[in-house]
């Protein structure tokens, strides 16, 4: 299987895990990228963070706009 297809399947599996469990996609993403696609572990972790960070920022902005984010508590 080509690496592009492996990356797509890895992302789909991590997304499915996140959808079913509500969180934890990154928990599966790093081992899958490092083990199955043979990506260096450091790059696998960086890729996981590169995926999670923008989504977290978007989520925080949405909560803030809707008034659900209290900066004083955070």
pLDDT digits (tens, 9 = 90+) for 34-43: 988 888 999 9
Asked whether the predicted pLDDT for residue 74 surpasses 80, the reply is no
3-34: per-residue pLDDT in tens? 789 888 888 888 888 778 776 667 788 888 89
Inside any domain, residue 70: no
The number of domains in the chain is: 1
Tokens standing for 4?
């592009």
Range of the domain at 26: 3-65
The rounded distance, in Å, linking the Cα atoms of 43 and 9 is 18
Q: What is the pLDDT of residue 42?
A: 93
Contact indicator for 29, 10 with CB cutoff of 8 Å? yes
Taking the model in full, what pTM does it have?
0.64
Inside any domain, residue 71: no
Q: What is the pLDDT of residue 24?
A: 65
Listed in sequence order, the DSSP H helices in 22-67 are: 25-35, 41-65
Inside any domain, residue 72: no
The rounded distance, in Å, linking the Cα atoms of 39 and 1 is 15
């Amino acid at each position: 299987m080509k690496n592009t297809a492996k990356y797509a399947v890895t992302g789909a599996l991590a997304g499915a895990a996140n959808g079913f469990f509500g969180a934890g996609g990154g928990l599966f993403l790093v081992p899958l990228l490092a083990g199955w696609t043979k990506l260096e572990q450091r790059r696998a972790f960086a890729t996981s963070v590169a995926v999670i960070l923008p989504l977290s920022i978007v989520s925080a902005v949405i909560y803030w706009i809707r008034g659900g984010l209290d900066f004083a508590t955070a």
